[in-house]
Amino acid sequence: MGDLKHKQAFICDMDGVIYHGNHLLDGAGDFVNWLNSNNKNFLFLTNSSERTPRELSEKLKRLGVDVEESHFYTSALATADFLSLQKPGCSAYVIGEAGLMNALYNAGISMNNVDPDYVVMGETRNYSYEQIERAALLVQKGANLIGTNPDTTGPTEKGMVPATGSLISPIEMAAGVKAYFVGKPNPIMMRRAVRHLGCRSRHTVIIGDRMDTDIVAGIEAELDTVLVLSGVTSVDMVKKFAYRPKYIYSGLAEMLKTM
């Protein structure tokens, strides 16, 4: 187990690993201190598209953990990178928050609610029937449907709440199409994360709380995988999957004891 401390780079999920909503989880601050004091390369990789890297940095700071915004990569940024490579200068009808809007704008993607190339869906608390209706009609007219991530739920301090996979379902059903999801476990996001860190896969580990996104993405990218049980996955749930994480811990606090 101690070989984790010899890894050069760490990719870490946020929701369910570092925090639940506005509640910092045990060991999160100590883990960041360990990364910094041991000169590790690290990236917080989140399927959430709601916040910008700056907002994520500020949120952690409010919770007592200081991490520069360059250490964050979100599904919003991955989606913007993907669309700008697929169709430079494209336009999109977007349902989402500032993190997604800013990422798309900074990638040169314009907002368009009349005849866009894409309909893009991310997490949002401002979700209406009017938006579902417009999105479904635009997809039926030829726009391609993109989801920032396939997660159906996300953990908060209140409990599990709907995430992008759930919010996009009515649009998929009404338009009769399946969305393309850019976030984990899509290899695109993992490859960009590893490239961002500048380390080889065999020297990199991913830490997450989801078997169907974090762990499978790590396995397919040939990274060592750590599952923490502080988010959505229990030990019994692990048995339902055909693949296994290399390590399982109750949370970051327990993992640190082995390092």
Domain spanning 76-181: which CATH class is it, in words?
alpha beta
Of 255, 214, 252, nearest to 48 (Cα)?
214
Cis status of the peptide bond prior to 185, with omega within 30 of 0: yes
Residue spans of the domains in the chain: they are: 2-47+185-257, 76-181
What pTM value is reported for the model? 0.90
Active site residues: 13, 15
Q: Does this chain's domain 2-47+185-257 share its CATH topology with 76-181? A: yes
| Sequential pLDDT tens for the chain (259 residues) | 458 888 999 999 998 999 988 899 999 999 999 999 999 999 999 999 999 999 999 999 999 999 999 999 999 999 999 999 999 999 999 999 999 999 999 999 999 999 999 999 999 988 999 999 999 999 999 999 999 999 998 877 788 889 999 999 999 999 999 999 999 999 889 888 988 899 888 899 999 999 999 999 999 999 999 999 998 899 999 999 999 999 999 999 999 998 8
Which CATH number does the domain 2-47+185-257 belong to among 3.40.50.300, 3.40.50.1000, 3.30.1490.70, 3.40.1160.10? Answer: 3.40.50.1000
